[in-house]
Amino acid sequence: MKDIKIESSFTVYEDLNELPKDVANLMKEASKIRLKAYAPYSKFLVGAAILLDNGEVITGNNQENASYPSGLCAERTAIYYAGAQFPDAKILKMALTAGSQSQSTTTPIPPCGACRQSIAEYEFKQESSIEIYFMGTFGKVIKSNSLANLLPLGFDKSFL
């Protein structure tokens, strides 16, 4: 028997001004699309913006449904669209912003487990890391150099 330790490290930016320009712009795109989320049930709005290696920026937001499980998170709305439209492009960066409709928050809100699994799929597909930046509605931004940091001991195609 032995114990193993898996460590993840992240970078914390105080606000958008501290981010590299391209990432700040990507986060602004995520903030814009967040406000167009269709979230009448949770009233929790999420925006995602993806930068591809061909320069394209793909955005998405959460889309809810009266049959709750039929809805889809912002991250997956965006990443599946990117995969559908640009199957050969690599995803370089992803910016995420989330918060409830009624109040703003500076607490960075990370992607849910299902979205982590979905983003991980694309890291395996493209054989390179995706930088993930996430924030609340304003203020602090946390950066993960790779989705793998957010999903240790993940499941992937190598097990199939």
Positions touching ligand THU (CB under 6 A) are 39, 42, 44, 46, 62, 64, 71, 73-75, 111-112, 115
Name the residue with tokens 């669209």.
81
Instruction: Note whether 117 and 152 are within 8 A (CB).
Output: no
Measured in degrees and rounded to the nearest 5, phi and psi for residue 133 equal: -115, 130
- Which of 92, 131, 134, 90 lies closest to 112, judged by CA? 134
Q: To the nearest whole angstrom, how small is the minimum distance from the Cβ of residue 137 to ligand THU? A: 13
User: How near is the Cβ of 51 to ligand THU at its closest, in Å?
Assistant: 18
Just list the catalytic residues: 75
Using the minimum distance from each CB to ligand THU, give the nearer residue, 53 or 81. 81
Here the tokens at position 66 are 């009266």
Question: DSSP 3-state assignment of 131?
Answer: strand
Smallest distance, Å, CB 98 to ligand THU?
A: 6
Q: Cβ closer to ligand THU: 23 or 34?
A: 34
Secondary structure of residue 33 in the 3-state scheme: helix
Residue with smaller CB distance to ligand THU, 64 or 131: 64
